[in-house]
Amino acid sequence: MASTDNKDFLVTDKIDFKNFNSSEYNAIFQDLSPIQRLEKLYEYFTPDEILFTSSFGTNSAYLLFLLSKVNPSQKVYFINTGYLFEETIKYKNELSELYGLDIVEIQPLAQEHQMTEEEEWWTDHPKMCCAINKIAPLDKVKVGKKIWVSGVLGFQTEFRSDLGIFAPHGDLYKFHPLIDMEEGQFLYELNYHGLPKHPLADFGYGSVGCTHCTVKGDGRDGRWADSEKTECGLHTHYFTNKKELNESK
């Protein structure tokens, strides 16, 4: 796999992160295309300051494709919850090889994961199941990071539609280069570039997460379909999720 080489990027406009104003930088990035936004991000932050994650879900290929054009050596963190579809693992391997990506797989603590499995937390405690298997594994990875790049799309949910290009998230800021893309434009880009589909996309899965909490459905309708839950918690308020996780132990 490739390794990140910061010498390839010259930070020309170093940000005083303590006084970072997301509204100011949202305005700077607003009129740029997604790939231009990624390119400009490296004018302000080094690769080591950037946290890039991917679920390798049905909508993941486009942002990974753009990253391969801008900085394929950027580490991409992949959370293997232990409950993923085999097709997702295969898709991760396919895109990693196709785009030459540096994928770093992280997992939940074995003892805590086993507890969620034995007690089937996804049934009665889905929020905490996500906290243990998806949110907590990122804690160590976040250390030293300033910007978290995510491929969330505004048209996916009401919560996501309210997010900006930059949004505060705990001790760092989320960066959403695709957040304001219309669904039609997003689908056009997938087809135009001939990007590989997730293996389950043609079988009625609009979104793919863990096996226990994913069924067929349009968009994200198939995620936690029998509950009011719509987000795993990675992209919602970090401190709330952290507090709930600590209280569960």
Q: How many CB atoms lie within 10 A of CB 101?
A: 23
Residue found under tokens 């067929």: 216
- Residue 43 to residue 12: CA distance in whole angstroms: 5
Centroid of chain to Cα 59: 10
Residues annotated within the binding site for [4Fe-4S] cluster are 129-130, 210, 213
Instruction: Report helix, strand or coil for 217.
Output: strand
Closest of 159, 160, 111 to residue 132, by C-alpha:
111
Angle at 140 between CA 228 and CA 223, to 5 degrees: 20
Residues 104, 78 contacting (CB under 8 angstroms): yes
Q: Does the annotation mark 63 as catalytic?
A: no
Backbone angles phi, psi at 111, to 5 degrees: -65, -40
Candidates 232, 235, 238, 245; catalytic one = 232
- Residue 56 to residue 78: CA distance in whole angstroms: 8
Residue ranges of alpha helices (H) inside 100-233 are 110-118, 121-124, 126-130, 139-142, 158-161, 183-192
**Residue numbers annotated as active site:** 232
